[in-house]
Amino acid sequence: MSFETEKFIFGHIPKCGGTFIKSVSAQIGIIKKYYIGEFGYHAPIHMFNEELPILISVRHPYDWYISQYNFLTSVNWIYDTYYEDFDKWFDATIQFKTMSFYYYDIMGCCRSEDYFIKLENLRSDYIKFLYDIGYDLSVNDIQIIQKYKKENISNNDSNIVLSSSQKEKIRKADAEIFKRYNFIS
Q: What is the CATH number of the domain that holds 61?
A: 3.40.50.300
Residue 33 is assigned to a structural domain of this protein:
yes
Residue 185 is assigned to a structural domain of this protein:
no
Q: Give the CA diameter of the chain.
A: 51
30 membership: H or E segment, kind and range: none
Local confidence band at 70 (pLDDT 50, 70, 90 cut-offs): confident
List, as one string, the DSSP characters of 21-37: HHHHHHHTT---EEE-B
Residue 161 is assigned to a structural domain of this protein:
yes
Q: What is the reported pLDDT for 167?
A: 97
pTM confidence score: 0.86
Q: Mean of the per-residue pLDDT values for the chain?
A: 85
Domain count, the chain: 1
List, for residues 7-30, the tens digit of each pLDDT value.
Answer: 999 988 888 999 899 999 999 999
Structural domain containing residue 82:
2-180
List, for residues 105-155, the tens digit of each pLDDT value.
Answer: 666 655 677 899 999 999 999 999 999 999 999 999 999 999 988 766 665
Is the distance from CB of 7 to CB of 135 less than 8 angstroms?
Answer: yes
Residue 43 is assigned to a structural domain of this protein:
yes
Residue 159 is assigned to a structural domain of this protein:
yes
